[in-house]
């Protein structure tokens, strides 16, 4: 129990948190950013808070190997916008700051990539071990899932097992495979070009090299001449960090890249560096690979990427949630005037539900990385609370004191198909919430109190 006699709130410290489980790229960067933003909850957002946020963001990005000069410029812009722009109507200051960070993160990620679904030949390039062959199969699976006929071509004649590896992957991806029993990469490449007669997408996996040099540039040019690719993609590993940008530039100057595919986003603390340096080099990020499985792959979408990093489904929903959250002020006013009862509370619950999954509401309030179980159960509780309120008479809804009577509780329980003890528990929770809101006149947010009220019961 807290000092106010209320159940303990949702876990606040890191030690209570279970690992964040949803499909996230860049775990550390995302977590760091979300935690920095979460610090804004429950405090007055002024210049000092924004300065602290900016410092936190800098620390998170720099520890993710993002270029320092870039980080300083980026966070300066966030600070300026956060402090000078007027929040949209209905959007609180904290949400405004979150919105600015979101928008700037999206802008920082560069343009998105819309994969063409036309007939095409794709050439994959890259240094040793970056994930070219795996990426070839991921791409094949991607295009095949769009209904295109795909063939993978093994043209890495240097590494003995390379073509066997690609053949196996092609089976996994349910696409065709082609190579020649020859060590003549040029001949294979030439044949591969002709495969366009039979297939929509021809993907060529080329041999790796230990470093970019003049010899490689010459070789790539001859491959490109034979194959006449519609798209040439450089595959770089996220481990490369800021070096990725330099590589992108070298390869681009040699053969002209359509885009860069960054692999191993799941494993590297340097992913932020790889991403930002590729964007800075003027190359476009086309796809991201985030695991060994063929499905761990997606086209790069900065909006979605930023949203996932920050833990918000999308900006529109963020703003909607922020608006709904601002309604809580009205509710508190009613409450302070002694008008709050089960009826008002029910309408608030409905508003609460409309805001979407409780999880995003909680994230909005800065409660990040919640254990799934807790969130799921809290929503279940909300539903049963609603059912109970529906079973109350108008008089009971308007005069909550009536609901203290156990005969009424029993009747409501029957009406709502619940156990008496469940209704009793809900009445107690309502009373605790009511008491709490009376005590906390300062606007720290009804929703966060509610989250704690429901979550706390479960968490204790
Ligand atoms: N965790 C993780 N591993 C990956 C990813 N992409 C590839 N790998 C692994 O990285 C290793 C090398 O992948 P390959 O696809 O063989 O790399 P390559 O660039 O073709 O290597 P060479 O042909 O030898 O130059 C394999 O063990 C892959 O499973 C990824 O996105 N995440
Ligand atoms: Mg390979």
3-state secondary structure the chain: CCCCCCCCCCCCCHHHCCCCCCCCCCHHHHHHHHHHHHCCCCCCCCHHHHHHHHHHHHHHHHHCCCCHHHHHHHHHHHHHHHHHCCCCCCCCHHHHHHHHHHHHHHHHCCCCCCCCCCCEEEEEECCCCCCHHHHHHHHHHHHHHCCCCEEEEECCCCCCCHHHHHHHHHHHCCCEEECCCCCCHHHHHHHHHHHHHCCCEEEEECCCCCCCCHHHHHHHHHHHHHHCCCEEEEEEEHHHCCHHHHHHHHHHHHHCCCEEEEECCCCCCCHHHHHHHHHHCCCCEEEEECCCCCCCEEECCHHHHHHHHHCCCCHHHHHHHHHHHHHHHHHHHHHHCCCCCHHHHHHHHHHHHHCCCHHHHHHHCCCCCCCHHHHHHHHHHHHHHHHHHHCCCHHHHHCHHHHHCHHHHHHHHHHHCCCHHHHHHHHHHHHHHHHHHHHCCCCCCHHHHHHHHHHHHHHC
CA–CA dist 363, 375 (Å, integer)? 11
pLDDT at 18: 28
Which residue CA neighbors atom 3 of ligand 1 most closely?
292
Domains with residue ranges and CATH for the chain: 23-110 (1.20.120.140), 120-300 (3.40.50.300), 315-459 (1.10.260.30)
456 CA from centroid of ligand 1 (Å): 44
Token pair for residue 304? 């979605």
Which residue CA neighbors atom 11 of ligand 1 most closely?
131
65 CA from centroid of ligand 1 (Å): 22
- Residue 458: is it exposed, middle or buried by C-beta count within 10 angstroms (0-12/13-18/19+)? middle
Residue to mutate (ligand 1; options 123, 170, 292; most atoms within 8 A of CB): 292
Along the 460 residues of the chain, how does pLDDT read in single tens digits? 333 332 333 333 222 222 322 233 344 677 778 778 777 766 777 888 899 999 998 988 888 888 888 889 999 999 999 999 887 766 677 778 888 888 888 888 878 899 999 999 999 999 999 999 999 999 999 999 999 999 999 999 888 899 999 999 999 999 999 999 988 888 999 999 999 999 999 999 988 888 888 888 888 888 899 999 999 999 999 999 899 999 999 999 988 999 999 999 887 678 888 888 888 888 899 999 989 999 999 999 888 777 777 766 556 665 565 555 445 445 545 555 555 678 776 666 655 555 444 444 444 444 433 344 444 446 677 778 788 988 998 889 888 899 999 999 999 999 999 999 989 988 887 777 666 656 544 444 554 555 455 443 332 2
Residue 156, ligand 1, Cβ within 6 A: yes
Sheet holding 120-125, edge to edge: 176-178, 150-154, 201-205, 120-125, 231-237, 259-263, 285-289, 297-299
Biggest alpha carbon distance in the chain? 88
Closest CA to 391 of 417, 429, 353, 355: 417
Residue 159, ligand 1, Cβ within 6 A: yes
Other residues' Cβ atoms within 10 Å of the Cβ of residue 176: 17
Q: Please say whether the beta carbons of 277 and 67 come within 8 A.
A: yes
Residue to mutate (ligand 1; options 124, 126, 128, 131; most atoms within 8 A of CB): 131
Closest CA to 413 of 433, 384, 434: 384
CA–CA dist 434, 335 (Å, integer)? 8
Which residues, 6+ apart, have CB-to-CB distance to 381 below 8 Å? 454, 457, 458
131 CA from centroid of ligand 1 (Å): 3
Query: Which residue has tokens 């009747």?
Result: 411
Q: Please say whether the beta carbons of 286 and 299 come within 8 A.
A: yes
Q: Are strands 259-263 and 285-289 parallel, antiparallel or unpaired?
A: parallel
Q: Give the position, in ligand 1's atom list, of the atom nearest the Cα of 128.
A: 25
Token pair for residue 156? 């890495």
Residue 130, ligand 1, Cβ within 6 A: yes
Residue 162, ligand 1, Cβ within 6 A: yes
pLDDT at 354: 52
Residue to mutate (ligand 1; options 24, 125, 129, 173; most atoms within 8 A of CB): 129
CA–CA dist 375, 208 (Å, integer)? 47
CA–CA dist 167, 178 (Å, integer)? 8
162 CA from centroid of ligand 2 (Å): 6
């Amino acid at each position: 129990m807290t000092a106010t006699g209320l159940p303990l709130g949702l876990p606040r410290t890191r030690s209570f948190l279970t690992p964040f489980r949803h499909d996230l790229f860049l775990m550390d960067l995302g977590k760091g950013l979300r935690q920095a933003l979460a610090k804004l909850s429950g405090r007055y957002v002024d210049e000092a808070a924004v300065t602290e946020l900016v410092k936190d963001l800098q620390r998170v990005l720099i520890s993710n190997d993002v270029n320092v000069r870039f980080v300083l410029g980026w966070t300066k812009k966030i600070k300026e916008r956060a402090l000078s722009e007027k929040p949209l109507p209905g959007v609180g200051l904290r949400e405004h700051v979150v919105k600015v960070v979101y928008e700037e993160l999206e802008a920082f990620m560069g343009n998105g990539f819309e994969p063409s679904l036309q007939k095409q030949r794709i050439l994959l390039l890259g240094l040793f071990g970056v994930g070219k062959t795996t990426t070839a199969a991921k791409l094949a699976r991607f295009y095949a899932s769009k209904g295109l006929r795909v063939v993978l071509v093994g043209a890495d004649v240097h590494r003995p097992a390379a073509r066997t590896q690609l053949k196996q992957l092609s089976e996994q991806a349910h696409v065709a495979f082609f190579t020649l029993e020859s060590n003549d990469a040029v001949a294979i490449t030439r044949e591969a070009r002709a495969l366009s007669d039979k297939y929509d997408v021809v993907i060529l996996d080329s041999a790796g090299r230990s470093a970019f040099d003049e010899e490689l540039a010459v070789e790539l040019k001859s491959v490109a001449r034979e194959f006449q690719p519609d798209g040439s993609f450089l595959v770089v590993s996220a481990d490369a960090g800021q070096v990725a940008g330099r590589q992108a530039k070298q390869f681009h100057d040699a053969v002209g890249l359509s885009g860069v595919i960054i692999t191993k986003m799941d494993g590297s603390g340097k992913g932020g560096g790889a991403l930002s340096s590729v964007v800075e080099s003027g190359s476009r990020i086309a796809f991201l690979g985030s695991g060994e499985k063929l499905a761990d792959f997606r086209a790069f979408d900065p909006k979605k990427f930023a949203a996932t990093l920050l833990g918000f489904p999308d900006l529109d929903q963020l703003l909607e949630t922020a608006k709904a959250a601002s309604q809580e002020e009205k509710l508190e006013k009613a409450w302070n005037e002694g008008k709050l009862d089960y009826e008002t509370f029910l309408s608030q619950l409905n508003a609460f539900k409309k805001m979407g999954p409780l999880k995003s509401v909680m994230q909005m309030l800065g409660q990040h990385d919640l254990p799934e179980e807790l969130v799921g159960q809290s929503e279940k509780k909300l539903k049963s609370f609603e059912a109970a309120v529906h079973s109350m008479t108008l008089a009971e809804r308007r005069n909550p004191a009536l609901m203290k009577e156990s005969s009424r509780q029993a009747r409501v329980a029957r009406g709502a198909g619940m156990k008496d003890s469940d209704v009793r528990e809900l009445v107690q929770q309502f009373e605790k919430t009511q008491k709490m809101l009376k005590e906390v006149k300062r606007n720290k947010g009804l929703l966060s109190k509610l989250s704690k009220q429901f979550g706390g019961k479960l968490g204790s």
